[in-house]
């Protein structure tokens, strides 16, 4: 065989292996965020915060409402219990499970200033709290960040369930 043919064949094999690895990573949890940022240069300097590691079973807003899935239906519970449009709720999660954010630093003393905005219960029964302080900084799983997208998403969620209360 010619050297150029062997070289071309090696490149094709390496390319195939890389494509198969990328497909596997996407099917089992996604590519690392550094790869996503590389291929999405519009948002350089910002990060993506994903708060839906697994499927969400319910979202609870303290002193507000509860959004809960039972079977293939979503229900809003507050003063009353009513069924919501399944597609609208699923679209909301699809748009807002991952939001652009600016990572910030907080010291240990300011951690006490964070109040829970929502509690998220996942299908594996794990419950996580999304906290926010008066300055508009959120905290999720130890990461502090600011996000106008998350502000908007929480407002939309209140409208979706028919809750008009303010934070």
The whole model's pTM is what?
0.67
Look at residues 86, 132, 84, 87 and name the one whose alpha carbon lies nearest to residue 111: 132
Contact yes or no for 141/50 (Cβ under 8 A):
no
The yes-or-no verdict on residue 152 having pLDDT over 80 is yes
* Burial group, residue 138, by CB count within 10 angstroms (0-12, 13-18, 19+): buried
Q: Which is higher by pLDDT, 111 or 75?
A: 75
pLDDT of residue 109: 59
pLDDT of residue 128: 93
Q: What is the pLDDT of residues 40-66, one digit of tens each?
A: 544 444 788 888 878 999 999 987 889
CB-based burial label for 83 (10 Å; 0-12, 13-18, 19+): exposed
Q: Are strands 73-77 and 138-140 parallel, antiparallel or unpaired?
A: unpaired
Q: What is the pLDDT of residue 34?
A: 59
To which H or E segment does residue 31 belong? none
Q: Where are the domains of the chain?
A: 1-30, 41-161
Identify the band that residue 108 occupies on the pLDDT scale cut at 50, 70 and 90.
low
């Amino acid at each position: 065989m010619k050297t150029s043919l062997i070289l071309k064949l090696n490149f094709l094999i390496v390319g195939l292996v890389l494509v198969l690895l990328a497909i596997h990573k996407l099917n089992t949890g996604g590519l690392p965020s550094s790869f996503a940022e590389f291929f999405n240069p519009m948002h350089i300097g910002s990060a993506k915060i994903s708060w839906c590691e697994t499927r969400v079973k319910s979202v609870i807003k303290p002193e507000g409402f509860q959004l809960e899935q039972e079977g293939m239906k979503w229900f809003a519970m507050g003063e009353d219990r009513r069924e919501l449009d399944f597609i609208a709720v699923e679209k909301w999660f699809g748009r807002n499970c991952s939001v652009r954010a600016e990572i910030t630093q907080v010291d240990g003393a300011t951690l006490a200033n964070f109040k829970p905005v929502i509690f998220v219960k996942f299908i594996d029964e794990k419950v996580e709290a999304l906290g926010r302080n008066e300055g508009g900084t959120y905290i999720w799983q130890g990461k502090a960040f600011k996000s106008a997208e998350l502000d908007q998403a929480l407002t939309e969620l209140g409208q979706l369930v028919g809750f008009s209360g303010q934070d």
